[in-house]
Structure 1
Amino acid sequence: MVRECNACIEPSSKLKRCSGCHKVWYCSITCQKSDWVRHIFACKPRRPINTADHLALAVRNDLLPHDPQTCKDYGFDRALTAENNSKLFGLYIGLIERMDIPAKTINDWRVRGVLVEEIKAAYSQIPAQSRGGYFPWFLQNQHLLTTSPQAATDSQLNDERDIMIRRAWHFTGGAETDSPEDIRTSIARMPRDKRMCHLFYELLLSKWYPAPFHSLWIPFGFCSCANEAEEMCLGRLYQGLITKCTFDEFCDAFSSARILNLFHEKGISVNVRNLGDALQGHNTNKSVWSLKQFAIRTDEENAKAAVRSPFAFDYGFMNCRNDSEKQALKKVYRTFFERRDADPLALHDAAIHGNIFGYIRSLMKLNAKYERLMKNPYPLPDVE
């Protein structure tokens, strides 16, 4: 019987079944080990799943962790700013991805109360010139992983959020004398598009940009980026743009789907494939962008809610008979979007012509079951 590897999705008749859940198959030990970071959450592991497993999954998906206890255990809820969260995340990427330190070991460090010391020891084994910038930053911010009096309090967190809001408020022309309460009230009364722009300014002025789990990831075109490096580049271009235009200009361009024109008017060259399509209308985006967001983000609760979105109709999720089929279909789409040659608009075109299976199969090997799962009612018949 031909099945597909749960890691590389290669069909084969010589796969070995996972001994834990007996539901998935692998073509090699390498694939099984690689997929364990994700599969542990669907399997029956011999040990309880811990927050280090959530951290490792976040690293694998290149997305900041959002599990509350994980954020608490590994310092993200005390990092205060988006910039510091990014640097802390980079530190863990170095440990988990580059040094190949397993989640089980990192959990053991935390439980024994030696996380800071072990992180220092791990990085000390790397030549100083190869440690990157995250470790020197960590040496100045070790308190994020301790429970010392230096650790941030809830009031400090609220103060930092107020700082981000006030920074954007003053940058966009708000009075220096306005209180935090006045600022929040004024923002709440703004039209929806203007509120979205203000929130975007808060991120940009904190040297950050929307990630896939953020509500602004699609409206401001980050969904069109091929990878995180391109997202960072687009974020820097936006940071340059807001210094060359007024807030009203930016809001008007956003509401009228003219952001790309505004870039050009201000002399900023933007070379992000499909950005123009993503910015055409933030209220009428093609469902393929919502599909991409759903496929690559990791929040299971949000993922289940997202299946009720329009893309579920367009891309076959209504054909799934159970959660296992939904997850399998999601995984195929995630694999597609992770490819260097992935073209979301070509996938959209295939969808409206009722040929999703044929298009994706032309790029990667697929089990025949996906022909049923990827069916949709398109092309719609002509109405006379």
Structure 2
Amino acid sequence: MECSICKKPTIKYCSRCQKRYYCSAFCQKKDYTNHKIDCPPRSADILVKNANENLMPTNIAVLYEYGFINCMQKQDKTMLLGLYIGLITIIGCSASQIHSWWENGELSIKIKETYDDGGFTSGYYKWFLKNEHVLQGLHKYEGEKSDKSIADRYYAIVKPYLSEQDQTVPIESLPESKHKIFALYLIILTGCIPNIEQDTWIDFGFCTCNVSQDHLGEEEEKRLGELYQELIVQKGCTIDEFNDAYVSGSVVDLLKRKCSDCNWLSKCGIEVFGYKQFRPSVYSLKQYALGDSVRLSPPIWADYGFMNCRTEDEKRQLRQMYTKLIKHPQFDPRDLHKACVSGKIFNYVRSILPNEVLKPYLLKNLYPLKKFE
């Protein structure tokens, strides 16, 4: 073969795509700007980046090719990430090594050899020795074909909770309310709670859980998730029964009736808004202020002053102010909603954050409504 730049004979090639040949590092660097467009990162490269940043992968190819999709419980995903973090950041394995192991179907074997040969032991590795199955039969992510495989696997988890009639029709043909419930059941049955950026976080009451400076409502959200787990797994609540409660706006009553130790639902003001019933935009504001990539929706834009922002910097400052407000221990979303519809957002924010530098014109909206005057 010949060098892609100077045409000299060479047997060296790009370790990532193995398609471009280079005679030297100089030629490879010279071609970098053009070649990076045609040489997208392998899943292993993304995995290494996530491990170095201690972040759970979100790339679907990484999740599919490196076993995360085989972990049905959130805790198992965390343990698998810890295994890779140890392999990459402590032992020092490169993306090329990991990719080669995966490509040759030797990932599980090589991980064990590497940990054992180096004398490395950890809770993550001990977990892996009992759960090697998550790295068995790994395949390349192939778009729609792989997506269907994942969907079929997840459908099998929730299927027992569907009625016999609903099991005979495509999920797409079910009512929208059942689509939403199906998503909740899948999350709960895999041992997770909704992510703040998911619609399910708002649809099923997690948005009404209190937050703090350190945790975005994790304790209360976890407790609500445990109640749903009891309702679905221990009590065997079917999707039809849950749907009846969801459509009628009585999910909280269903939880109180079926589950134990539900007093805190009322004590903490946990609400689950019924399907297509009115829900204050303050909860969408909360999601926007606390989420990383939630879009600014029209109701938030109109109700909470973002329509008054003349620059992106003002929009950023306003969002940061709401983030600080929502994390304050005295904050109550219902009080902010009342202040919003009575045209008194500035007064409410000032009462919670007296030392905050505020621009009154940013907090004006289209209200008040008469019943709050």
**TM superposition score category, shorter chain reference:** 0.5 to 0.7
Task: Describe the SS at the equivalent of 2:366.
Answer: coil
**Which structure 2 residues correspond to residues 213-224 of structure 1 after superposition, within 5 A?**
213-224=197-208
Separation (CA, whole Å) in 2 of partners of 1:356 and 1:76: 49
Matched, 1:250 2:242: yes
Task: Describe the SS at the equivalent of 1:362.
Answer: helix
1:5-43 CA-partner distances (Å, limit 9, x unpaired) = xxxxxxxxxxxxxxxxxxxxxxxxxxxxxxxxxxxxxxx
Letter of the structure 2 residue corresponding to residue 262 of structure 1: L
* CA displacement at 1:237 relative to structure 2: 0.7
Which residue does 1:310 correspond to in 2? Answer: 299
* CA displacement at 1:382 relative to structure 2: 7.4
Q: Any gaps of 5 or more consecutive residues in structure 1?
A: 1-49, 100-104
Query: Is this contact kept in 2: 1:203–1:210, CA < 8 A?
Result: yes
Structure 1 pair 139/287, CA: closer, same or farther in 2 (3 Å)? Answer: farther
1:101-135 CA-partner distances (Å, limit 9, x unpaired) = xxxx79x9755758979x979xx999x6xx6xx56
Which residue does 2:362 correspond to in 1? Answer: 373
- What is the total number of aligned residue pairs between the two structures? 303
**Which structure 2 residues correspond to residues 328-367 of structure 1 after superposition, within 5 A?**
328-364=317-353, 366-367=355-356
Matched, 1:297 2:291: yes
Query: Is this contact kept in 2: 1:76–1:88, CA < 8 A?
Result: no
* CA displacement at 1:153 relative to structure 2: 4.7
Q: TM-score, structure 2 length as denominator?
A: 0.64
* CA displacement at 1:341 relative to structure 2: 3.7
Structure 1 pair 200/283, CA: closer, same or farther in 2 (3 Å)? Answer: same
Task: Describe the SS at the equivalent of 1:240.
Answer: helix
Q: Among 228, 236, 241, which residue is 1:238 paired with?
A: 228
Task: Describe the SS at the equivalent of 1:245.
Answer: coil
Q: Among 169, 185, 190, which residue is 1:201 paired with?
A: 185
Structure 1 pair 162/351, CA: closer, same or farther in 2 (3 Å)? Answer: same
Identical-residue share of aligned pairs (%): 28
Separation (CA, whole Å) in 2 of partners of 1:281 and 1:222: 15
* CA displacement at 1:82 relative to structure 2: 6.5
* CA displacement at 1:244 relative to structure 2: 4.3
* CA displacement at 1:322 relative to structure 2: 1.7
Structure 1 pair 77/120, CA: closer, same or farther in 2 (3 Å)? Answer: closer
Higher relative CO (Cα under 8 Å, sequence separation at least 6) belongs to 1
Structure 1 pair 364/109, CA: closer, same or farther in 2 (3 Å)? Answer: farther
Separation (CA, whole Å) in 1 of partners of 2:279 and 2:363: 21
Letter of the structure 1 residue corresponding to residue 149 of structure 2: D
Separation (CA, whole Å) in 2 of partners of 1:377 and 1:58: 44
Which residue does 1:42 correspond to in 2? Answer: none
Letter of the structure 2 residue corresponding to residue 237 of structure 1: L
Query: Is this contact kept in 2: 1:80–1:157, CA < 8 A?
Result: no
Which residue does 2:151 correspond to in 1? Answer: 161
Separation (CA, whole Å) in 2 of partners of 1:376 and 1:125: 60
Separation (CA, whole Å) in 2 of partners of 1:192 and 1:285: 17
**Aligned-residue CA RMSD (Å):** 4.4
* CA displacement at 1:170 relative to structure 2: 2.2
Query: Is this contact kept in 2: 1:353–1:379, CA < 8 A?
Result: yes
Separation (CA, whole Å) in 1 of partners of 2:48 and 2:314: 27
* CA displacement at 1:141 relative to structure 2: 6.2
Separation (CA, whole Å) in 2 of partners of 1:252 and 1:333: 35
Separation (CA, whole Å) in 2 of partners of 1:194 and 1:249: 11
Which residue does 1:102 correspond to in 2? Answer: none
* CA displacement at 1:200 relative to structure 2: 1.9
1:287-339 CA-partner distances (Å, limit 9, x unpaired) = 0111111111112xxx3xx3232122111111111222212211222222233
Separation (CA, whole Å) in 2 of partners of 1:365 and 1:311: 23
Letter of the structure 1 residue corresponding to residue 200 of structure 2: L
Query: Is this contact kept in 2: 1:83–1:208, CA < 8 A?
Result: no
Structure 1 pair 191/143, CA: closer, same or farther in 2 (3 Å)? Answer: closer
Structure 1 pair 138/347, CA: closer, same or farther in 2 (3 Å)? Answer: farther
Which residue does 1:20 correspond to in 2? Answer: none
Q: TM-score, structure 1 length as denominator?
A: 0.62
Query: Is this contact kept in 1: 2:177–2:275, CA < 8 A?
Result: no
* CA displacement at 1:357 relative to structure 2: 2.6
Larger-gyration structure (1/2): 2
1:41-98 CA-partner distances (Å, limit 9, x unpaired) = xxxxxxxxx9888788896xxxx664x3xx65688974115745554347769999xx
Query: Is this contact kept in 1: 2:249–2:275, CA < 8 A?
Result: yes
Which residue does 2:196 correspond to in 1? Answer: 212
Structure 1 pair 188/337, CA: closer, same or farther in 2 (3 Å)? Answer: same
